[in-house]
Amino acid sequence: MTTMTDTALAEFKMPDVGEGLTEAEILKWYVAVGDTVTDGQVVCEVETAKAAVELPIPFNGVVRELRFPEGTTVDVGQVIIAVDVSGGTGAPAAPVQETTPEPAPEAEPKAPEGRQPVLVGYGVAESSTKRRARKAAPGETPVAAAEPEPQPEAQHDRPLNGHTGTRPLAKPPVRKLAKDLGVDLATVTPSGPDGIITREDVHAAVEAAAPAAAPAPQQAEAPAPQVTEAPAPAVPAPAAAGSTDARETRIPVKGVRKATAQAMVGSAFTAPHVTEFVTIDVTRTMKLVEELKQDKAFEGLRVNPLLLISKALLVAIKRNPDVNAAWDEANQEIVQKHYVNLGIAAATARGLIVPNIKDAHAKTLPELAEALGELVGTARAGKTSPGAMQGGTVTITNVGVFGVDTGTPILNPGESAILAVGAIKLQPWVHKGKVKPRQVTTLALSFDHRLVDGELGSKVLADVAAVLEQPKRLMTWA
């Protein structure tokens, strides 16, 4: 990852941040020529075909060269930054090129004792859990300034959201979520009993810090359509992304969008897709959602229809395990999976991503709610790691929040099935012999016909529908 030259310059190369990916685009430099950097300090953000990733530098020194400007796509193994590690005064050298960006806000002043994992969402240094201060516009007061203390939750001597006190009150899972999202709990307004900070409070803090986005329709709080614009900086392409003709705009296809396009084409023309549909009455499921929101076991957790839809699919897979499989073309084998990594399709500013919940089949309902909440928050913050998007077995996509009744979803590559959930809305329905307004939705299940025949696919979809019509089956079938 690094090389040394005769002039005491350490060269930091573009690492393989995505398990085999060959290139990444430099989205943002956080340092400039002449800046002092420390081991573990994040120096830039790059975008691979899977996610945005922050790169920490592995040594101490003074930046002498930034080899590429923002917006440049760099091959893995190319030198991107050179640092003088001889221990000099750190006087700025002349910029290598005019396109070198201005320095970002000051990085954390103390170097950690050891380097941490590179991937975004996992953290890179003990002092990096606080969101980096945004550069203030002329005449504007900075949002937050870098502070010398490395522990974001250890500031006991200042008011907390207008209240005097010591350490903010929050449960361990909430603290972990705040740490992953870079939220200082001391700046979060608590809404829980006795001043306890909940997950919703943390998510609200993230949304308040992010650019204003149009609110999602009031339906299932699913992560797929509700993932808002990530707070990460927009991709600054070196070539003009706009059109020379006012009637057209040309946008380069790269990063996540390029990878998604290639994957969807490959999936559509490799796996023989079959899609089946069913329209169901989910009134009882919607009532159960409201009841669970009041249950103490779900205090501080995100409870919505997607939670019960996810559980219904997991129950259906347990009853029909052959659906959870993959096709091995090279060995001409069907690989049956004895675990479920449940993918949730998420639309982000960078394109469609499908992070998954590892071993979702083994989670209790509160644990599943916690995992879904973390997945949503991480995706909204633009910090989903490449590892979180690998190894999925089945996926759920919620098109209902767009007001769409249903669709024919394309399989995530390597997976056996994908369930699309349509809008849940009041419709006339025959209930107990009378036409009444009921909460109705349409489900669509696409599956790989090499792995799943019509009978098996129909059973899975029918089981999902049966659980959502009569959610007591979550107990009798589980």
**Dist. CA 447–CA 177, nearest whole Å:** 34
Phi and psi at 292, nearest 5°, equal: -65, -30
- Is residue 431 helix, strand or coil? strand
- 473, 449, 477: which is closest to 319 by C-alpha? 477
**Dist. CA 194–CA 296, nearest whole Å:** 15
- Is residue 226 helix, strand or coil? helix
Sequence-ordered alpha helix ranges (H) in 142-228: 172-181, 199-209, 223-226
Q: Which residues are catalytic?
A: 449
Identify the helix (H) or strand (E) that includes residue 457: helix 454-469
**Residue 364 is encoded by which pair of tokens?**
């209790």
Identify the helix (H) or strand (E) that includes residue 255: helix 255-268
- How many other CB atoms are found less than 10 A from the CB of residue 407? 18
DSSP string, 309-330: HHHHHHHHHHHSGGGSEEEETT
Residue type, 207: E
Strands 425-431 and 434-448, by their bridges, are antiparallel
Q: Which residues contact 13 (CB under 8 A, 6 or more apart)?
A: 1, 2, 3, 76, 77, 78, 79, 80
Contact (Cβ atoms closer than 8 angstroms) between residue 19 and residue 48: no
Distances in whole angstroms, Cα of residue 413 to Cα of each of 51, 332, 335? 17, 17, 14
Identify the helix (H) or strand (E) that includes residue 376: helix 365-380
Phi and psi at 325, nearest 5°, equal: -150, 175
Place of tokens 């090499």: 450
**Residue 431 is encoded by which pair of tokens?**
């209930």
Place of tokens 């900070």: 197
Contact (Cβ atoms closer than 8 angstroms) between residue 346 and residue 84: no
Contact (Cβ atoms closer than 8 angstroms) between residue 126 and residue 117: no
